[in-house]
Structure 1
Amino acid sequence: MPMSGTQPSLYQQLRGHLAALKLTAAAEHLPSVLAQAEAEQWSMTATLEHLLAREVEATEARKLAGRLRFASLPTPATLAGFDFDAAPGIDRKLLDELATCRYLESATNVLLIGPPGVGKTHLAVGLGRAAAEAGYRTYFTTAADLAARCHRAAIEGRWATTMRFFAGPTLLVIDELGYLPLPGEAASALFQVVSQRYLKTSIVLTTNRGVAGWGEVLGDTTVAAAMLDRLLHRSVVFNLDGESYRLRDHHAKNDALRQTATGTRRPLQ
């Protein structure tokens, strides 16, 4: 379809139709698409496909931005940015498989266990980001914040609404279980969240305590056993070890400073 003969009035009508249909990206790209179509002699079908593709790209970008806002990820960490050299115990092939998000289809959980600073939160955020980018509704919280929110909900009569909220996302990321002891009502709230998601949707959970110590963290060995039973029934477990990356970074900066200082020092004359 030659474009050189397009009437200006028809062009304005077309832009008006796109605006009326709220196809703002297509309207914005209309001049460049028409110019490229004329230069490369596209068919009418090809021109229309390129124009609508711009609208689809913009729509998907808006949807992703919305999912990321809802996810409330605390950092821009990605799985690709993880330092595998500093975590030799990580099964990279398994992590690559998790990056495909297929585990979400089977409501599989992921437990990241290890001392502070070994990259648990980085991996949890990276998994959350991958899920959001793949189109899954994702939400990130800490164990302490989840417990506090449930406690407020119980006081204010919003318990059922809050439970529905935490049941909703396809992936719920719960960070930092075990850093602070949880009071009885908090442990009960966490158990109920885990229980209502059991075999339906996935949880990524990070903790600095091995599963044997969860009874102490939750203050109730029975609740701990019941929660672990649900989390581990269908799960992938990573045991991370090694020196804290914060300490590694601190040591590296000290070494660099020391080398700079010794390298620039001149002997006394």
Structure 2
Amino acid sequence: MKLTELDPALRKLRLSGMADHLEMRILEAQKSHWAPIDLVSVLVQDELTRRGDRLLERRIKQARFRDSGKTLDGFDFAFNAKIDRALVFELASGRFLTQADDALFLGPPGTGKSHLVQAIGLAVIHQGHRVAYREVHTLLEELADATLDGTRKEYLAEMASVPLLLLDDLGMRKLPTTAAEDLLELIMRRYERASTLITSNRPVEDWGRLLGDTAAVTAMLDRLLHHGHVVQCGPKSWRTRQPGLSKAKAAR
């Protein structure tokens, strides 16, 4: 088979990683006098690399991060020195997934909670795990829509099975009256099976009033904190670092 025939044949077999590098690898093999097995090995590695890159891209897209590309390297821990840096990096290692541990990120708006959980989520994806990110109000809206169109069971099953679920901004928006029951149902499905990270600008003592159902919130927190960590963020806000904002706030 000629090289011009081999390229489309590889693509037909969905081996585009090999096809993309085929001509270059053959030239390298001729120049360096590779053994046939070495050429095959390199081409197979090219294909594996391509598939790994595509899987990574697909999982990042499926996660639906609000802010793409957030990393721990881009986070200024010195600004809020009280944040438990060691715990954050331990979570980013992904080891907590094996125990189905959970974590709460608590602190005022603008203290980096969303950045941290999305950075942890991205790190976990790079380790080969699936991740889903939702703002709390978005998840509840999606669940309400699924209930109306008869796919609630399927939606809950999907959200319950993802290895890491990131629920962001609990307390930022008014939630439906069923919020506590809906969140409890999801957390119960995930309890000791999969990990959940939640961010909130409200202390857990306020969650009962926030969600309007103290009993359901208590049951939810019991499960989240049984194998859970708490990351306190704050009190400084990143938003006050913007030029002129601190002075304007002080003048009020």
TM over 0.5: yes
The AA in structure 2 aligned to 1:69 is K
Counterpart for residue 234 of structure 1: 227
Task: Say whether residues 1:122 and 2:83 are aligned partners.
Answer: no
Q: 1: distance between equivalents of 2:195 and 2:59? A: 17
Moved more, 42-51 or 15-24: 15-24
Counterpart for residue 74 of structure 1: 66
Decide which of 160, 166, 189 is 1:196's aligned counterpart: 189
Task: Say whether residues 1:98 and 2:87 are aligned partners.
Answer: no
Decide which of 13, 19, 26 is 1:34's aligned counterpart: 26
Moved more, 159-168 or 17-26: 17-26
Q: Measure how far apart 1:12 and its partner are.
A: 4.1
Q: Which runs of 4+ in 1 moved over 6 A?
A: none
SS in 2 for 1:103: helix
Do the aligned partners of 1:139 and 1:169 also contact (CA within 8 Å) in 2?
A: yes
Aligned CA distance change for structure 1 residues 156 and 11 (closer, same or farther; 3 Å): closer
Q: 1: distance between equivalents of 2:16 and 2:138? A: 39
1:195-220 Cα distance to aligned partner (Å, 9 max, x none) = 10000001110001111111111111
Counterpart for residue 104 of structure 2: 111
Q: Measure how far apart 1:160 and its partner are.
A: 0.9
1:42-71 Cα distance to aligned partner (Å, 9 max, x none) = 222221111111111111111111101110
Counterpart for residue 267 of structure 1: none
Decide which of 171, 178, 186 is 1:185's aligned counterpart: 178
Specify every segment of 5 or more residues in structure 1 that has no aligned partner in the other structure, as ranges: 1-8, 255-269
The AA in structure 1 aligned to 2:190 is R
Aligned length: 246
What is the TM-score of this pair, normalised by structure 2?
0.91
Counterpart for residue 55 of structure 1: 47
The AA in structure 2 aligned to 1:169 is V
Do the aligned partners of 2:83 and 2:234 also contact (CA within 8 Å) in 1?
A: no
Moved more, 220-229 or 91-100: 91-100
Decide which of 200, 206, 215 is 2:199's aligned counterpart: 206
Q: 2: distance between equivalents of 1:220 and 1:113? A: 20
Identity, in percent, stands at: 34
Counterpart for residue 5 of structure 1: none
Aligned CA distance change for structure 1 residues 36 and 253 (closer, same or farther; 3 Å): farther
Aligned CA distance change for structure 1 residues 253 and 213 (closer, same or farther; 3 Å): closer
Do the aligned partners of 2:191 and 2:224 also contact (CA within 8 Å) in 1?
A: yes
Do the aligned partners of 1:148 and 1:186 also contact (CA within 8 Å) in 2?
A: no
Aligned CA distance change for structure 1 residues 157 and 115 (closer, same or farther; 3 Å): same
SS in 1 for 2:168: strand
Q: 2: distance between equivalents of 1:88 and 1:247? A: 16
Q: 1: distance between equivalents of 2:87 and 2:232? A: 13
Moved more, 30-39 or 153-162: 153-162
The AA in structure 2 aligned to 1:80 is D
SS in 1 for 2:14: coil
Moved more, 243-252 or 168-177: 243-252
Q: 2: distance between equivalents of 1:253 and 1:31? A: 59
SS in 1 for 2:242: helix
Q: 2: distance between equivalents of 1:183 and 1:27? A: 53
Counterpart for residue 222 of structure 1: 215
Q: 2: distance between equivalents of 1:64 and 1:10? A: 33
Specify every segment of 5 or more residues in structure 2 that has no aligned partner in the other structure, as ranges: 248-252
Q: 2: distance between equivalents of 1:36 and 1:182? A: 61
The AA in structure 2 aligned to 1:50 is V
Counterpart for residue 264 of structure 1: none
Decide which of 242, 246, 249 is 1:249's aligned counterpart: 242
Give the superposed CA RMSD: 1.8
What is the TM-score of this pair, normalised by structure 1?
0.86
Q: Measure how far apart 1:146 and its partner are.
A: 1.3
Q: 2: distance between equivalents of 1:48 and 1:90? A: 49
Q: 2: distance between equivalents of 1:40 and 1:111? A: 55
Q: 1: distance between equivalents of 2:101 and 2:76? A: 24
